[in-house]
Amino acid sequence: MKHIGAGFAGPETVVFTVWAPEKDRMTVHLVHPTDRVVSMEKDNEGYFSVTIEGIRAGDRYFFRPDDGTDYPDPASHFQPEGVHGPSEVVDHSAYAWQDQSWHGLPFRDLILYELHVGTFTPEGTFEAIIPRLDALAETGINALEIMPVAQFPGKRNWGYDGVYPYSVQNSYGGPEAFKKLIDACHARGIAVFLDVVYNHMGPEGNYFSQFGPYFSSKYHTPWGDAINFDGLWSDGVRDYFTNNAIFWLEQFHVDGLRFDAIHEVFDMGAVPIWVQIHDNVKRLEQRLGRPLHLLAESDLNDPKVLKTTELGGFGFDAQWLDDFHHALYALLDHDGKNRYGDFGRLEQLAKAYTDGFVMSGEYTAFRKRKFGASSSGIPGDHFVVFNLNHDQVGNRVGGERLSLLVDFERLKLAAAAVFLSPYVPLLFMGEEYADETPFFYFADHSEENLIQAVKDGRKAEFAAFNANNEHIDPFQEITFTDSKLRWENRTKGKHRIMLDWHRTLIDLRRTEPALQNGAKNGIQVTVLGSAGFGLHRQDPAGMNHLLGLFNLSEEEVTYTLPDWVSNWQKCLDSKEPQWLENAKIVQAVLPEQPEPGQTLQLPPLSVTVYQGISVLT
């Protein structure tokens, strides 16, 4: 693979490279601190390059195809003046990393925390996050999953409208500030995942077609023409994105990548782009001597995503498990089934625990066809589960978090359902203390026709859900500022209780042997009519047991403990006073040490967790 962009080959010596296979000529236009134009040479693969001396970090430049218009470098490492301005030369070797003792974390041990840089703090920068890392670590969070930071138009965006996949957003602080954040995370034992977008480019500042055939009309995506991964000249496109994955892992020391909506990437070649990326990343992993994790968002319900490349799969280490969210949410929120019409039965949630994919070949009304395949044999640490993520919050009309959709008791149930699962849990920023601020969709485009197109598109998307609500304007700055966390509420009232609840669940997950077993044969779920369920986990040896008793209804429900497990000891009860929003209201609690085979009356809207040991025979 070719290295593209501007890279130092020695002191004040930079190699400029750009892929433009159908162009006859290319020049570098240096615009700061001096103004000069330098011609480039083309090789037989369509790459233009030139080595220029006297270049320093901070110098700025454009590329000029066929003696025409100046454009920023498609592989720019920094756009200090935004998506239309010149690219800046970055010397990545100049940063003095302090994380030499960092060796990464196993994926199965992660507590993921999805974070949007712009709304996590009032300042909305990388460096403003650093003072809050200790509080996250004390909660038990050991992995940030940062929403895309590739340069996007303006100063506010979710990040999925990025148009420079190698460039760190200028309003967040740029590349050096991002490295400082990652360094600070590693110093506290926190891994860093970065969300990357390889399925489309944003519309504003998208000059890729001025250089080469990066897009293909052969396939259609929700954002227009698909990226060209299998057509004419696609080798250069594939190398561009494969190099990008290596770039973040190597130059920024990130521990893993989360790939957005891989189902919108189309590649009919013999070696899928995901296999190419996987193979290159695994070679880098061996060279660096630390684990590098690849995480997919996939709407395919296809186990191929998680199968090894040797068995014909894509080789991802894990994927988001949307079916778990849908199955749980449809049972917790009275309006849940209206949003997810194919869900709403306890048997589906049970299947999410024991199998993974709920839709594994069944007919779905939403898709009007049979959908999915079984994932029953795939271990739990290959899936990530959640109650919230940026999509589940931001793609609601009012940007409501779960804390505004269900009451406090159901919120505790939701958290316990995730953290007692065999899967890797993910929290959306602020969820750990039940933050109630909305998370709207927001953007900051400068082109009026594009602004109107986005507004019209959002209105059409929400038409079925927005009959009686005014549409939120994503381009008003208040839409962005209203989405910023209210961190000051973290230690107040019910928010403090929910924070302690999450700390307790995370600690239980890390200390209980049964919860560290991701094998599917260590999981049993007993459905209690239409009211609740018993989630039974055990360690690989079958000695240590954990039982989560969930009552999702507003009436008591009966459950009989297994008689082949002894020494049942209660370790968590959502009805005990310290977990109640109003501790003055006396709640029925279950016994501390029930007998094997004892019948219990589970209180309404409750979760109780017991530990036990197998009866020796």
Asked whether the beta carbons of 289 and 282 are under 8 A apart, the reply is no
First-to-last alpha carbon distance for the chain, in angstroms, is 62
Q: Give one DSSP letter per residue of 2-19, joined into a string.
A: ---EEEEEETTEEEEEEE
In whole angstroms, what is the distance from residue 324 CA to residue 571 CA? 25
Phi, psi at 264, each rounded to 5°: -100, 15
The catalytically annotated residue of 260, 264, 317, 539 is 260
Asked whether the beta carbons of 97 and 107 are under 8 A apart, the reply is no
Distance from the Cα of residue 79 to its chain's centroid: 24
Count of beta carbons in the 10 Å neighbourhood of residue 410:
18
In whole angstroms, what is the distance from residue 128 CA to residue 420 CA? 32
Q: Is 326 annotated as a binding residue?
A: yes
Residue 104 tokens, joined:
């990464």
Count of beta carbons in the 10 Å neighbourhood of residue 580:
18
Residue type present at position 588:
A
Enumerate the H helices of 208-296 as residue ranges: 234-251, 273-288
In whole angstroms, what is the distance from residue 533 CA to residue 526 CA? 5
- Identify the three-state secondary structure at position 165: strand
Q: Is 116 annotated as a binding residue?
A: no
Q: Is 322 annotated as a binding residue?
A: yes
Phi, psi at 43, each rounded to 5°: -100, 180
Distance from the Cα of residue 140 to its chain's centroid: 18
Enumerate the H helices of 53-145 as residue ranges: 117-120, 126-129, 133-139
Residue type present at position 567:
N
Q: Is 261 annotated as a binding residue?
A: yes
Q: Is 390 annotated as a binding residue?
A: yes
- Identify the three-state secondary structure at position 475: coil
| Integer CA distances (angstroms), 438 to 129, 397, 398, 588, in order | 20, 10, 7, 34
> Does 310 participate in catalysis according to the annotation?
no
Q: Is 258 annotated as a binding residue?
A: yes
Closest by CA position to 220, among listed 285, 265, 159, 183 = 265
The DSSP call for residue 472 is P
Q: Is 263 annotated as a binding residue?
A: yes
> Does 260 participate in catalysis according to the annotation?
yes
Q: Is 259 annotated as a binding residue?
A: yes
The catalytically annotated residue of 114, 183, 297, 317 is 297
**Alpha-carbon torsion (283, 4, 159, 219), positive or negative:** negative
Phi, psi at 491, each rounded to 5°: -110, 25
Active site residues per annotation: 260, 297
Annotated binding site: 258-263, 322-326, 390-395
Annotated binding site for substrate: 258-263, 322-326, 390-395
